[in-house]
């Protein structure tokens, strides 16, 4: 049974100048007078989608979505090799979120997202805890360096053939070398054919990691439109090759700043891309959180995952 709400369209949208020559796309759906909620998409660089709107009761929520710098409808777009990346970091995105909150006149908002989105949510909430009413995360990550290394190397023990192809896509990189940084360099190559090949190879690896979940029915990374795919890979490799500009373990270390913010963490036990240990450690450090383990789910989630997300958002709909 699909417990999500019917599809809805934005009642307003706009472009917000966030400085450094960047403009961030945003949109609002649901009830303009409802409980404010911000959707923080994954990737980094995936852009906001439409289906996530359906997790929110449109009568009770003012749902705000935005495309992070360089992706989706935000400008300039990272698929354009002329777009500089130096003004696209975790700290820039946190500042963009706060600027968007001020622009829209929101006092406090609920934050919802998953995967990379959870890292950005935690970074924002730990910096601006007084602006966060609640947090709902599915597929918890903190983008620590060992988590990044697991996703782009360690999990290769389950997919050795595909990982060898991924490594081969960055010629000259030793098996114990920094394959993520190697791909980041390829995405800055002046030859468009080199950039395209690297994008395809990166997405093939990402699709391999979730292949047990998709059963080959689709490729959630490789099937994206060309520009969206290129931007995502360029941004992903840029962020992860820099350890997302956070000190190792910073988000866990500073989880005490989340005290008083209720949170629901939902994680699949079979998430090969990001182990349950990350959600568990965060839950232990954040007493106001609840951890829900979905036994049969992986990184992309299942109907049960969606059930828990909708249930948690319904619980917080009144702002409590």
pLDDT in tens, 55-107: 999 999 999 999 999 999 999 999 999 999 999 999 999 999 999 999 999 99
Cis amide bond preceding 76, omega within 30: yes
pLDDT, residue 230, reads 97
- Structure tokens, 200: 């395809």
Helix (H) / strand (E) containing 90: helix 90-104
Q: Which segments of 51-138 are extended strands (E)? A: 61-66, 109-114, 132-138
Residues written for the chain: 320
Our answer to whether residue 283 is catalytic in this structure is no
Residue 36 has pLDDT above 60, yes or no: yes
Q: Which of 92, 267, 283, 299 is catalytic?
A: 299
pLDDT, residue 289, reads 98
Residue 3 has pLDDT above 90, yes or no: no
Residue 320 has pLDDT above 60, yes or no: no
- Integer Cα distance of 197 and 75 in angstroms: 24
pLDDT, residue 215, reads 84
Our answer to whether residue 299 is catalytic in this structure is yes
CB count, 10 Å around CB of 272? 20
**Phi, psi for residue 187 in degrees, rounded to 5:** -70, -10
- Integer Cα distance of 298 and 274 in angstroms: 9
Task: Look over the chain and give the mean of its residue pLDDT values, rounded to a whole number.
Answer: 96
pLDDT, residue 99, reads 98
In this structure, are residues 49 and 77 in contact, taking their beta carbons and an 8 Å threshold?
Answer: no
User: Helix or strand or coil: residue 305?
Assistant: helix
Percentage above 70 pLDDT, the chain:
99
First-last CA distance in the chain = 27
Our answer to whether residue 271 is catalytic in this structure is yes
Q: Which of 46, 79, 115, 237 is catalytic?
A: 115
- Compute the Cα dihedral for 80, 195, 69, 243 and give only its sign: negative
Q: Which of 92, 271, 289, 308 is catalytic?
A: 271
CA angle at residue 269 from 272 to 164, to 5 degrees? 10
Query: Checking DSSP bridges between strand 61-66 and strand 22-30, what pairing results, if any?
Result: antiparallel
pLDDT, residue 162, reads 97
DSSP for 198-258 reads HHHHHHHHHHHHTHHHHTTS--TTTTS-HHHHHHHHHHHHHHHHTGGGS-TTHHHHTGGGG
pTM of the model: 0.96
CA Rg value for the chain: 19
Q: How far is CA 134 from CA 95, 107, 112, 254, in A?
A: 19, 13, 9, 17
Residue 1 has pLDDT above 70, yes or no: no
Ramachandran quadrant class, 21 (left: phi over 0; alpha: psi -120 to 50; beta: rest)? left
pLDDT digits (tens, 9 = 90+) for 125-142: 999 999 999 999 999 999
């Amino acid at each position: 049974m699909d417990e999500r709400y019917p599809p809805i369209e934005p009642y307003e949208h706009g472009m917000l100048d966030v400085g450094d020559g960047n403009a961030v796309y945003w949109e609002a759906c649901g009830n303009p007078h409802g409980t404010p909620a911000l959707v923080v998409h994954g990737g980094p660089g995936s852009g906001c989608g439409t289906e996530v709107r359906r997790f929110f009761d449109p009568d009770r929520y003012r749902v705000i979505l935005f495309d992070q710098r360089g992706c989706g409808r935000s400008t300039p777009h990272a698929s354009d090799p002329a777009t500089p990346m130096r003004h696209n970091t975790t700290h820039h995105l946190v500042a963009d979120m706060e600027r968007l909150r001020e622009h829209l006149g929101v006092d406090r908002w609920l934050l919802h997202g998953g995967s990379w989105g959870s890292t950005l949510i935690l970074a924002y909430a730990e910096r601006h805890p007084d602006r966060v009413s609640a947090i709902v995360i599915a597929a918890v990550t903190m983008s620590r360096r060992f988590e990044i290394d697991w996703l782009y190397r360690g999990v290769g023990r389950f997919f050795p053939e595909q990982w060898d192809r991924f490594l081969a896509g960055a010629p000259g990189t030793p098996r114990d070398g920094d394959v993520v940084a190697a791909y980041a360099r390829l995405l800055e190559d002046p030859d468009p054919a080199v950039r395209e090949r690297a994008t395809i190879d990166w997405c093939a690896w990402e699709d391999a990691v979730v292949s047990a979940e998709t059963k080959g029915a689709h490729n959630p990374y490789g099937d994206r439109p060309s520009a969206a795919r290129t931007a995502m890979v360029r941004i992903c490799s840029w962020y992860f090759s820099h350890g997302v500009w956070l000190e190792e373990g910073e988000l866990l270390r500073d989880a005490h700043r989340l005290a008083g913010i209720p949170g629901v963490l939902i994680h699949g036990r079979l998430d090969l891309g990001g182990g349950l240990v990350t959600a568990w450690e965060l839950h232990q450090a954040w007493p106001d959180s609840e951890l829900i383990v979905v036994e049969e789910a992986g990184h992309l989630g299942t109907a049960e995952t969606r059930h828990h997300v909708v249930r948690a958002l319904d619980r917080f709909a009144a702002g409590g």
